[in-house]
Amino acid sequence: MRPFCIAGILLSALSTALADEGMWLFNNPPVRQVKEKYGFDITPEWLEHLQKSSVRFGNGGSGSFASANGLILTNHHVGSGMIEKLSTPERDLLEEGFYAKTAGEELKCPDLELNVLISIEDVTERVNAAVDPQASPEDASKQRRITIAGIEKESDEKSGLRSDVVTLYQGGAYHLYRYHRYTDVRLVFAPDVKAAAFGGDPDNFEFPRFCLDYCFFRAYENDEPAKTPDFLKWNPAGAKEGELIFTSGHPGRTNRSVTLAQLENMRDDAFPYRLEQIFRGEATMRAWSDRDLENARRAKGSITGIQNGRKALAARLNGLLDPAFMARKAESEKAMHEAFSQKDEWKKAAAAFSKIRKTKDSSKELESRLRMFEGGDAFGTQLFGIARALLRAGDQRVMEDKMRLPEFQEKERVSLELDLFSDEPVYKNFEVVKMTNALTFLCVKLGATDPLVKKILAGKSPADRATELVMGTGLEDVALRKKLYEGGKDAVAQAQDPMIGLARLVDDEALRLRQEGEAAAEVIEQAHQSIAKARFALQGDSTYPDATFSLRISYGTVKGYEDEGVTIPAQTTFGGMQKRHDGQGKVAPFDFSSEWEARSSSLDSDAPLNFVSTNDITGGNSGSPVVNQRGELIGLVFDTNAPGLVSDFAYTDVKGRCVSVHPAGIIESLKKIYQADRVIAELSL
């Protein structure tokens, strides 16, 4: 067979970018694709400005600078965790909303880190050269980890920037990302949750939508608003239907280039496991929340998050249960395997598929225990996470930096201490409920007679053991955490805290499982490297890698869609929101706050509120700015619709849509409902 014929088979089998598909790297943007389809030139200057205007939220989300003085726009649901932490029993900022009328009223977040991407460097050759091809998976994983740690430390010391080596193309490439880090972040404005999450769980992942899912923070340096010359100017007119637009954000994870065996593992094991855990957690927290108004306030954010996860995961599982989709994946993989087998230099890639399947099949029991003990699913409380962090910090800090676990290396110290010393409130009665549920789940999945499970329960029921551990620990006290952390290994060893005792009890097994898991992951990563080399030989790196919570750009157009014969317009309005409110009997989650009710008559009913587009996004893109060809902000990503949830595995623009808040809707509410004049003035509107 001639080489071009092999290429023809492969190019038809490989997942190449179609339509407006792609979460593209900023150092490999879709310049050609956009130029050919839309006639627009993505220039280096345009791209750099967008890059440095984009913000990554450490708690999982995106945002953008909205002024030269560190003002940041993101979603209310991205900021809701911080808003909840800043609330008190006397002042529920989720329910009431928040507006700092002066700089002095801006509220400092207890543990929020923001990152802005400054530069990217390809370090693939350096990483791969350090791994001995003949090494065992365990040794190869260690060699790769040590090399990456060295690269990150060297960059951190030279540049003073947060430096992360990001794995791309499932191990086909490694890029060093350098970020400017902000750890002093303050809340400026948030609407009330009834407006931000109008429609609640029933409307989640649906369209039409009517949500004002936005809020504002500010980055500070040296106790002063940060100077941010790269920021996005707003265009209240937004974009017209059919207009080319872009998103810039940090999509968390996709699985478009994984193998059939990996998808089958998700379908048959990982996703059902996680859904079972979610359903149990949601029911438990809901029951506790319904018992008391203060319980409801404390659990609100957790319940909203778990509902969102449940709905998204169920949709993704439904996609994997589609026989037609899995058949297409199998056919594509078969074609790739046959094509790779035609050339000697690609035969290693051909063998990679069976290697991945064998590894996944042999790792099922490992993965179950790994989730429980190293992943922490067995414990369910932030207090256990604190105990483990203190225990391991003491053990790890006596090691050479490159030999430590990545999360305890020097470059992560700022982030570690920000989390560990957070003064967010710890509600012990809620922690008991969550830990009881987790320990019960542990017994269900591994069996109450499992030797380690028996040691964890110590002869007690899950409820009694959780109560003993949570009520007996003192780790809710930040001063105690600092004392133990600063005292190091000896101080932690002498502590008589029961939660630290639990962390110590399971740590040897957890670390052993982690090492085995990393060895299995190394086998899969090396297999994907072989596949990637064969793909690069044909395509170069003209395709985009799976999402990795690193900055990406996507493009698309404002566009409605057809659903069961009904035309769904691309845009909604305040008038539509009022109609939805009235049509649902004005009851939760379709009700308004008293402030909204008092002032809503002043709203322009025709002002746009939400809109949809064909941009390729996934979880982590929440809060991403949407910009036009002039680089002006014309939207704020906050969701996808239900048909778009399969984007984890494949892009579709038939019905799948990115859902965004329109800037006109934000401005209308700021002016007429919340009267946030200071924010309006800073936006120069």
Closest listed residue to residue 633, CA positions, set 138, 249, 144:
249
Residue 106 has pLDDT above 60, yes or no: yes
Provide mean pLDDT across the span 636-642: 95
Question: Can you give the pLDDT at residue 5?
Answer: 38
596-608: per-residue pLDDT in tens? 999 999 999 999 9
DSSP code of residue 377: T
Assign residue 270 a region (left: φ > 0; alpha: ψ between -120 and 50; beta: otherwise). Answer: alpha
C-alpha triplet 63, 68, 74: angle, nearest 5°? 15
State how far the Cα of 153 lies from the Cα of 173, in Å rounded to an integer.
19
488-500: per-residue pLDDT in tens? 999 999 999 999 9
Q: Where are the alpha helices (DSSP H) in 130-254?
A: 137-159, 193-196, 200-203
Provide mean pLDDT across the span 174-189: 98
Least confident window among 58-67, 301-310, 476-485, 585-594: 301-310
- In order of 180, 294, 318, 437, the CA distances from 467 in angstroms are 42, 20, 38, 12
State how far the Cα of 288 lies from the Cα of 39, in Å rounded to an integer.
56
Residue 432 burial (CB < 10 Å; 0-12/13-18/19+)? buried
Thinking of the domain 3-113+183-256+545-682, which architecture would CATH place it in? Beta Barrel (2.40)
Q: Could you tell me where in the chain the CATH 2.40.10.120 domains are found?
A: 3-113+183-256+545-682
Is the C-alpha dihedral spanning 452, 455, 459, 460 positive or negative?
A: negative
State how far the Cα of 477 lies from the Cα of 405, in Å rounded to an integer.
26
What is the Cα gyration radius of the chain? 25
404-430: per-residue pLDDT in tens? 999 999 999 999 999 999 999 999 999
| Tokens of residue 247, six digits | 């998103």
213-242: per-residue pLDDT in tens? 999 999 999 999 999 999 999 999 999 999
Q: How many CB atoms lie within 10 A of CB 560?
A: 17
Asked whether the beta carbons of 547 and 618 are under 8 A apart, the reply is yes
State how far the Cα of 394 lies from the Cα of 387, in Å rounded to an integer.
11
Cα–chain-centroid distance for residue 432?
27
Would you mind telling me the total number of residues written for the chain in this entry?
Answer: 685
Amino acid at 658: C
* Backbone phi and psi for residue 324, each to the nearest 5 degrees, phi listed first: -65, -40
Question: Can you give the pLDDT at residue 362?
Answer: 94
Asked whether the beta carbons of 29 and 553 are under 8 A apart, the reply is yes
- Report the DSSP beta bridge partners of residue 244: 557
State how far the Cα of 53 lies from the Cα of 26, in Å rounded to an integer.
13
Closest listed residue to residue 114, CA positions, set 45, 158, 66, 65:
65
State how far the Cα of 268 lies from the Cα of 263, in Å rounded to an integer.
9
Question: Can you give the pLDDT at residue 354?
Answer: 96
Asked whether the beta carbons of 165 and 124 are under 8 A apart, the reply is no
Residue 65 has pLDDT above 90, yes or no: yes
Residue 540 confidence class, pLDDT cut points 50, 70, 90: low
142-158: per-residue pLDDT in tens? 999 999 999 999 999 99
| Coil/strand/helix, residue 37 | helix
428-472: per-residue pLDDT in tens? 999 999 999 999 999 999 999 999 999 999 999 999 999 999 999
Closest listed residue to residue 198, CA positions, set 604, 610, 510:
610
Residue 685 confidence class, pLDDT cut points 50, 70, 90: confident
State how far the Cα of 155 lies from the Cα of 179, in Å rounded to an integer.
11
Residue 18 has pLDDT above 60, yes or no: no
Question: Can you give the pLDDT at residue 14?
Answer: 43
Give me the torsion for CA of 89, 94, 97, 98, rounded to 10°.
70
Assign residue 165 a region (left: φ > 0; alpha: ψ between -120 and 50; beta: otherwise). Answer: beta
State how far the Cα of 144 lies from the Cα of 153, in Å rounded to an integer.
14
Asked whether the beta carbons of 254 and 547 are under 8 A apart, the reply is yes
Average pLDDT, the chain: 94
Provide mean pLDDT across the span 656-660: 97
Q: How many CB atoms lie within 10 A of CB 685?
A: 14
Provide mean pLDDT across the span 38-48: 98
The better pLDDT of the pair 58, 5 is held by 58
State how far the Cα of 556 lies from the Cα of 247, in Å rounded to an integer.
9
Q: How many CB atoms lie within 10 A of CB 7?
A: 14
Question: Can you give the pLDDT at residue 464?
Answer: 98
Asked whether the beta carbons of 45 and 577 are under 8 A apart, the reply is no
Closest listed residue to residue 401, CA positions, set 123, 149, 126:
149
Question: Can you give the pLDDT at residue 157?
Answer: 95
Does the bond joining 202 to the residue before it have cis omega, within 30 degrees of 0?
no
250-294: per-residue pLDDT in tens? 999 999 999 999 999 999 999 999 999 999 999 999 999 999 999
Query: CB under 8 Å to 78, separation ≥6 — which residues?
Result: 57, 59, 60, 61, 62, 63, 215, 622, 623
Using DSSP bridges, classify how beta strands 184-190 and 215-221 pair: parallel, antiparallel or unpaired. antiparallel
Is the C-alpha dihedral spanning 110, 180, 395, 487 positive or negative?
A: negative
State how far the Cα of 249 lies from the Cα of 321, in Å rounded to an integer.
29
Total-model pTM: 0.91
Is the C-alpha dihedral spanning 284, 287, 288, 294 positive or negative?
A: positive
Using DSSP bridges, classify how beta strands 98-99 and 224-225 pair: parallel, antiparallel or unpaired. unpaired
Residue 7 has pLDDT above 80, yes or no: no
The better pLDDT of the pair 304, 55 is held by 55
Q: Where are the alpha helices (DSSP H) in 200-346?
A: 200-203, 260-265, 271-289, 293-320, 323-340
Greatest pairwise CA separation for the chain in angstroms: 76
Question: Can you give the pLDDT at residue 535?
Answer: 83
Give me the torsion for CA of 139, 141, 147, 149, rounded to 10°.
-120
